Amino acid sequence: MTAAIAETSTESTVLYSTQGAVALLTLNRPQALNSFTRQMHRDLGLALDKAEADKNIRALVITGAGRGFCAGADLSEFDFAPGPNLVERANPGPVIEQAFNPTARRLTSLRMPTIAAVNGVAAGAGSSLALTCDIAVAAPNASFIQAFSKIGLVPDAGGSWLLVQKLGLARAMTLAMTGDKLSAAQAREWGMIWEVADDSVAAAMALAQRLALLPTKALVATRHLLREGTTRTLHQQLDVERDTQSDMGRTHDYIEGVTAFLEKRPAAFKGE
């Protein structure tokens, strides 16, 4: 990868590099299949801050170090020591409220499109993380596992919403209840992910480079229209489309895109 710039120390749980207008974030706890600790949530937040602050960055890829993408929450951070107040100490609610939910909300509100390069297993909240990105590309050996029911929990980090949106109720319900493994090939066939590629990171980066050349604001506005559209009636969505289209009509990239079309030349979008 050319022009890669290391932005975090070797101890960081999230590595940051850039290639042109694309930022690559690598979850970096390979010994634990990149399962989330509170520190990794903080490091991911800092990496997202860095990408958003760099006006040159117009697309973002998230992947995992080693053989896994993300195994969800690191359960070793939960306090299951015998003794008083075990139920309160082991309660997963606080870490969801303080870490997983903010991460999910942050990813869906980024100013640039996001792609998950699922290089290995994506389990529990790790699967939710992949689905929170706008697009997902997976390696042939990657898999998606709703591991929650096997430990007496329910899908979180947006999983209960994202699964239904991606797969429909019947498939989402069965996967969530059984915790069965979904292969990358089956996930693609069912429309859960976009592509299966031998090198998921290279494929995701190539796609991100394409997106980085497009009108960034329009791409993000498209994200919101499509993800929020199911919460509205058709008539409500028509009004939101009108208003959003009017907003896009005030951007540089709209004027440039139409002008380039009329002049029969490639458009030079700026993401503005």
pLDDT tens digits along 103-142: 999 999 999 999 999 999 999 999 999 999 999 999 999 9
More confident residue, 112 or 77: 112
Asked if residue 222 lies in contact with residue 240, where contact means CB atoms within 8 angstroms, the answer is no
Q: What band does 8 get if pLDDT is binned at 50, 70 and 90? A: very low
- Note the pLDDT of residue 7: 41
Q: What band does 165 get if pLDDT is binned at 50, 70 and 90? A: very high
Q: Quote the tokens at residue 73.
A: 């929450």
d(CA 206, CA 218): 20
Helix (H) / strand (E) element for 219: namely helix 216-228
pLDDT in tens, 26-43: 999 999 999 999 999 999
Helix (H) / strand (E) element for 149: namely none
pLDDT in tens, 191-227: 999 999 999 999 999 999 999 999 999 999 999 999 9
The pTM of the full predicted model, rounded to 2 decimals, is 0.90
- Note the pLDDT of residue 77: 82
DSSP state of 83: S
DSSP state of 75: G
Q: Quote the tokens at residue 188.
A: 């693609």
DSSP state of 34: T
Q: What band does 10 get if pLDDT is binned at 50, 70 and 90? A: low
| Res. 87: pLDDT tops 90 | no
Q: What band does 260 get if pLDDT is binned at 50, 70 and 90? A: very high
Q: Residue 252, exposed/middle/buried by CB under 10 A (0-12, 13-18, 19+)?
A: middle
| Res. 6: pLDDT tops 50 | no
* Residue-by-residue DSSP string for 48-98: HHHHHH-TT--EEEEEESTTEEE-SB-GGGS---SSTTHHHHT-SHHHIII
For the chain, percent of residues with pLDDT exceeding 70: 96
| Res. 5: pLDDT tops 60 | no
d(CA 145, CA 186): 12
